[in-house]
Amino acid sequence: MVEEVKPRVKVPKSAAVGEVVTIKALISHKMESGQRKGSDGNLIPRQIINRFTCDLNGVNVIDVAIDPAVSTNPYFEFDAKVDAAGEFKFTWYDDDGSIYEDVKPIAIA
């Protein structure tokens, strides 16, 4: 079965102006480190997600450089200050050039 890459994000539906909200982001990914050998004795080529970013209304919230020691299905939990209603944009960058994206709206309560 093909290992499917699937982003999952949890963002509150609404927040007060200036409120700091907690965001959780997880992506299913095997995060092959490049250190392991396959059953044929050869190295399995590295394929990890090397960068993860989150923007709120075009302003960067977090930008993470990821290295091979990070586990499979990498999970990030972080805070963001919400000044206006808008949209969180999440982006994961794969070694193979693939880009996985997810978008979550947030309203002002």
State which residue, 24 or 81, has the beta carbon closest to other proteins.
Answer: 24
Q: How far apart are CB 8 and other proteins at their closest, in Å? A: 7
Six token digits for residue 94: 């794969």
Whether residue 52 contacts residue 64, with contact meaning beta carbons closer than 8 Å, is answered with yes
Which residues are at the interface with other proteins (CB under 8 A)? 1, 4, 6, 8, 10, 24, 26, 28, 71-73, 75
Tokens of 101: 């994206």
Give the residue among 43, 47, 86 at the shortest CA–CA distance from 70: 47
Which is nearer to other proteins, 26 or 62 (by Cβ)?
Answer: 26
